[in-house]
């Protein structure tokens, strides 16, 4: 919970990780990829305020104690949602697995939501693993990293036949939330790996599932926003937006927020720190303090008030995951405020 100026904010960190990316976990022969991956993540951290930067050694192998302190003790987070990414071709035990997350989460009942993942290229075995993880960890959500390398394939689309089979199975198992994370590779490589049109199709065909597109489809914000206006079950995961732009590029951050508020709306945006890329503390504090710059260039965008910030920081994700929110942290009257009518900026 974060409190500022008499307002209390229930904070759900809907996209965070507990990884081991140290050399002890690198697959022999694939060291360059394991190293390249974590160095890339570390470069993202450089977009945060300087005083929150970590040395690469700590960044590769932070501890349980680091996580509990940064996320809960200092970071104001009430409930954190683990989003696993396996990358087992590069990391021996996986980069960030359901099991590793749950081993920590189970020590702290009520503080974590244990999402799992699937990879549609894993065939029947993968379906069994998915069921086992849902049974074992009570997962209500999955994280899909579509650019994962798997036996010579450089990625997949949600519209692949096998992916639909997995989505059907996930729905049958009680999964509600599909967090989609696009990356730089896909099969075939000549296509745009970041394209989100497959999410559009899947969202239409699986209306009972929610599709949270992480980092709002970055670097395809425009395609994501336009798709999200048309699909009621598509959400904007703000990981990377706040972490990567709010401190480093405040004017671009304001414009991206303006576009998201206009096209997607504050009821469908969810905060995620992307820890350990970025610590939640400065993100939560900065976001609560944030407003559009006092400049004509931003005057057409919908405003974001305290109620909207409460929704984005926690209440929207709490709804998606049926997380109980204490009465005093609900919006007034326990009802979400009506979303401002979006007006086309040019009118």
Partner 1 sequence: MPAAVAQRSRVLTALDAVRDPELDEPITTLGFVSSCVVSAAGDVVVRLRLPTYFCAPNFAFLMVADAYDVVAALPEVRHADVALEDHFASAAINAGVAARAGFAVSFEGEAVGELDELRRTFITKAVLAGTDQVCRPLLAAGLDPAALTTMTLGNMPPSAQLERLCRRRAELGLRTDPAAPLLVDPGTGEPITGATVSLHLGKARLTRVGIEANTGICRGMLRHRYATTGAGEEEDEE
Determine which residue in the list 64, 110, 252, 305 makes contact with partner 1, applying CB under 8 A: 252
Q: Choose between 125 and 344: whose C-beta lies nearer to partner 1.
A: 344
To partner 1, the closest distance from the beta carbon of 251 in angstroms equals 6
- Per CB under 8 A, contacts with partner 1 among 194-213 are 194
Judged by CB under 8 A, does residue 225 bind partner 1? Answer: yes
Determine which residue in the list 183, 201, 231, 340 makes contact with partner 1, applying CB under 8 A: 183
Q: What are phi and psi of 79, to 5 degrees?
A: -135, 135
Determine which residue in the list 226, 267, 290, 319 makes contact with partner 1, applying CB under 8 A: 226
To partner 1, the closest distance from the beta carbon of 315 in angstroms equals 26
Q: Choose between 263 and 321: whose C-beta lies nearer to partner 1.
A: 263
Q: Choose between 153 and 330: whose C-beta lies nearer to partner 1.
A: 153
To partner 1, the closest distance from the beta carbon of 299 in angstroms equals 9
Q: Choose between 74 and 195: whose C-beta lies nearer to partner 1.
A: 195
Name the one range near partner 1 by CB under 8 A: 157-165, 166-174, 245-253, 309-317.
245-253
To partner 1, the closest distance from the beta carbon of 342 in angstroms equals 10
Q: Which residues contact 288 (CB under 8 A, 6 or more apart)?
A: 2, 4, 7, 9, 309, 313
Rounded Cα–Cα distance for residues 235 and 176 (Å): 13
Crossing angle for the helix pair 161-172 and 123-137, to the nearest 10 degrees = 30
Name the one range near partner 1 by CB under 8 A: 97-105, 125-133, 161-169, 258-266.
258-266
Judged by CB under 8 A, does residue 230 bind partner 1? Answer: no
State how beta strands 2-4 and 7-9 pair: antiparallel
Which has the closest alpha carbon to 27: 94, 86, 96, 84?
A: 94
To partner 1, the closest distance from the beta carbon of 197 in angstroms equals 11
Q: Choose between 6 and 55: whose C-beta lies nearer to partner 1.
A: 55
SS (H, E, C) the chain: CEEECCEEECCEEEEECCCCCCHHHECCCCHHHHHHHHHHHHHHHCCCCHHHCCCHHHHHCCCHHHHHHHHHHCCCCCEEEECCECCCCCECCCCECHHHHHHHHCCCCCCEEECEECCHHHHHHHHHHHHHHHHHHCCCEEEEECCCCECCECCCCCCCHHHHHHHHHHHHCCCCEEEEECCCCCCCCCCCCCCCHHHHHHHHHCCCCEEEEHHHHCCCHHHHHHHHCCCCCEEEECCCHHHHHHCCCHHHHHHHHHHHHHHCCHHHEECCCCCCCCCHHHHHHHHHHCCCCCCHHHCCCCCCCHHHHHHHHHHHHHHHCCCCCCHHHCCHHHCCCCCCCCCCCCC
Judged by CB under 8 A, does residue 222 bind partner 1? Answer: yes
Judged by CB under 8 A, does residue 55 bind partner 1? Answer: no
- Per CB under 8 A, contacts with partner 1 among 15-34 are 32-33
Q: Choose between 78 and 266: whose C-beta lies nearer to partner 1.
A: 266
Q: Choose between 27 and 307: whose C-beta lies nearer to partner 1.
A: 27
Structure tokens at 34: 């394991």
Judged by CB under 8 A, does residue 307 bind partner 1? Answer: no
- Residues 141-180 as x/- pattern, contact with partner 1 by CB under 8 A: -----------x-x--------------------------
Name the one range near partner 1 by CB under 8 A: 98-106, 129-137, 251-259, 271-279.
251-259
Per CB under 8 A, residues contacting partner 1 are 32-33, 36-37, 39-40, 42-44, 46-47, 152, 154, 183-185, 187-194, 218-222, 225-226, 244-245, 248-252, 255-256, 258-259, 262-263, 296-297, 344-347
């Amino acid at each position: 919970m974060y409190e500022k100026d008499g307002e209390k904010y229930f904070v759900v960190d809907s996209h965070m990780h507990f990884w081991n990316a140290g050399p002890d976990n690198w697959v022999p022969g694939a060291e360059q990829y394991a190293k390249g991956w974590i160095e890339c993540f570390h470069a993202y951290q450089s977009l945060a305020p300087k005083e929150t930067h970590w040395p690469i050694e700590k960044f590769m192998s932070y501890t349980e104690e680091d996580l509990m302190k940064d996320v809960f003790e200092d970071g104001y987070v009430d409930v954190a949602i683990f989003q696993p990414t396996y990358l087992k071709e590069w990391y021996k035990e996986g980069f960030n697995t359901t099991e590793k997350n749950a081993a920590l989460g189970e020590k702290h009942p009520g503080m974590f939501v244990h999402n799992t993942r699937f990879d549609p290229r894993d065939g029947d075995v993968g379906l069994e693993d998915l069921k086992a993880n849902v049974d074992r960890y009570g997962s209500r959500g999955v994280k899909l990293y579509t650019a994962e390398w798997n036996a010579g394939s450089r990625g997949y689309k949600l519209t692949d036949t096998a992916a639909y089979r997995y989505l059907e199975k996930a729905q049958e198992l009680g999964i509600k939330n599909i967090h989609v994370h696009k990356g730089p590779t896909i099969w075939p490589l000549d296509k745009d790996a970041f394209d989100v049109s497959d999410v559009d199709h899947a969202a239409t065909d699986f209306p009972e599932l929610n599709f949270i597109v992480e980092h709002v489809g970055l670097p395809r914000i425009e395609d994501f926003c336009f798709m999200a206006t048309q699909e009621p079950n598509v959400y904007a995961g703000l990981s990377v937006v706040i972490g990567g732009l709010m401190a480093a590029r405040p004017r671009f951050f304001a414009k991206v927020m303006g576009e998201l508020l206009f096209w997607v709306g504050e009821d469908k945006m969810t905060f995620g720190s992307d820890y350990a890329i970025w610590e939640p503390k400065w993100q939560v504090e900065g976001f609560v303090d944030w407003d559009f710059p006092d400049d004509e260039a931003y005057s057409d965008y919908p405003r974001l008030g305290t109620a909207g910030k409460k929704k984005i920081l926690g209440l929207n994700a709490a709804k998606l995951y049926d997380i109980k929110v204490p009465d005093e942290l609900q919006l007034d009257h326990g009802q979400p405020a009506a979303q401002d009518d979006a007006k086309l900026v040019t009118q």
